[in-house]
Structure formats: structure tokens, C-alpha cells
């Protein structure tokens, strides 16, 4: 199955599984086993984000996206006869809207950076020989 991911509420094509998942053994195994569209959509969003350097995100699938724009991807499935179409064919939003089927929405949740890891990063920056930054206190009125 070939999936195309589009910015939710926008017209920007973010990825085509023929490009970003083509060399993934995990993707190949799941498409061979005919895993459900929800699981494939979640995997496609994760593989796309990882190919662009975004790691440790969490994802939620739903049949329809929220009313507000952004925050994830609208997922479209290509018909079987378009599985072999060149990736450039789906760079145009009109081709995606006319020739693919809307299958759902993937909401992307950024990783949470704990306070503990922020403190470690600050200590590491100070231990590099730099002078500690002075604390700035807000005046009370």
C-alpha cells in the first residue's frame, strides 16, 4: 500500500511512502502482511519524521482530523493501479486529491523534555569552562 502524507488543513505534500519508506524493512514487512491502514499510517508518519530528523515523537491515528489546522498529517491511500506511478506524480496536491482516497489523520505529539534533562544540559554547558550565567530576578511590585 502506498500512502501520501499532507499537512493537515493545508496543501503541502509532506511525503510519499514510495520515497521515504522504500528502503524500510519494517514498512515492507507490514505491507506484505497487509496490516491495517491505521497502523500503516502511524508507521508512515514516524518514518517520514525520522527521515527529516525528528525522533521520539508520539502519534495518534483517527478517521478524521480536528477542525484546527496543523498538528499532523492527512493520510491518503493510492489506488492499486497508481502504486507504480513515479513519486513526482504525487507532488501536485490536485493529483493526490483526485486520484487518492482519504483514509485518516495522524496527530503528531512532540517529545517532552524533562526538567531533569534540561538541568543536565545546563550543567554541561557550564562545565565547558564558560562562566555561569548570572541569575536574573524579576522585581516584585
Say which residue the cell 519524521 belongs to.
Answer: 49
Distance CA 13, CA 69 (A): 14
11 belongs to a structural domain: yes
State the total domains in the chain.
1
| pLDDT range class, residue 66, cuts 50, 70, 90 | confident
Of the candidates 116, 83, 115, 86, which has an alpha carbon nearest to the alpha carbon of residue 100? Answer: 83
Segment 66-77 mean pLDDT? 90
Q: Say if 139 falls within a structural domain.
A: no
Please write the tens of the pLDDT for every residue from 77-132.
Answer: 998 888 889 989 999 999 999 999 999 999 999 988 766 666 666 666 666 555 55
Asked, for residue 136, whether it belongs to a domain, the answer is no
Measure the CA–CA gap between 45 and 106, rounded to whole angstroms: 7
Is residue 140 in some structural domain?
Answer: no
**Domain assignment present for 44:** yes
The pLDDT confidence band at residue 141, using thresholds 50, 70 and 90, is very low
Domain membership of residue 134 (yes or no) is no
Which pLDDT score is estimated for 105? 96
Range of the domain at 111: 3-126
Quote the DSSP letter at residue 46. Answer: H
In a domain, residue 26? The reply is: yes
**Mean pLDDT throughout 67-71?**
84
Cell of 72: 499532523
Q: Is 48 in a helix, a strand, or coil? A: helix
Separation between Cα atoms, residue 17 and residue 46, nearest integer Å: 11
d(CA 19, CA 3): 10
Question: What length is written for the chain?
Answer: 141
Domain contains 137: no
Q: Are strands 100-109 and 72-78 parallel, antiparallel or unpaired?
A: antiparallel
> How does pLDDT run across 24-59, given as a tens digit for each residue?
999 989 888 888 999 999 999 999 999 999 999 999
Amino acid at each position: 500500500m502506498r500512502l501520501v502524507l499532507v499537512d493537515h488543513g493545508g496543501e503541502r505534500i509532506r511525503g510519499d511512502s514510495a520515497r521515504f519508506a522504500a528502503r524500510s524493512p519494517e514498512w515492507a514487512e507490514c505491507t506484505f502482511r497487509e496490516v491495517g491502514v491505521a497502523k500503516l499510517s502511524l508507521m508512515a508518519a514516524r518514518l517520514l519524521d525520522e527521515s527529516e530528523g525528528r525522533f521520539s515523537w508520539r502519534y495518534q491515528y483517527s478517521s478524521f482530523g480536528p477542525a484546527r489546522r496543523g498538528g499532523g498529517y492527512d493520510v491518503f491511500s493510492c489506488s492499486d493501479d497508481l502504486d507504480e506511478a513515479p513519486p513526482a506524480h504525487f507532488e501536485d496536491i490536485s493529483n493526490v486529491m483526485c486520484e487518492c482516497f482519504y483514509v485518516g489523520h495522524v496527530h503528531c505529539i512532540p517529545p517532552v523534555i524533562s526538567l531533569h534533562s534540561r538541568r543536565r544540559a545546563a550543567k554541561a554547558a557550564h562545565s565547558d569552562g564558560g562562566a555561569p550565567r548570572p541569575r536574573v530576578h524579576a522585581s516584585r511590585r
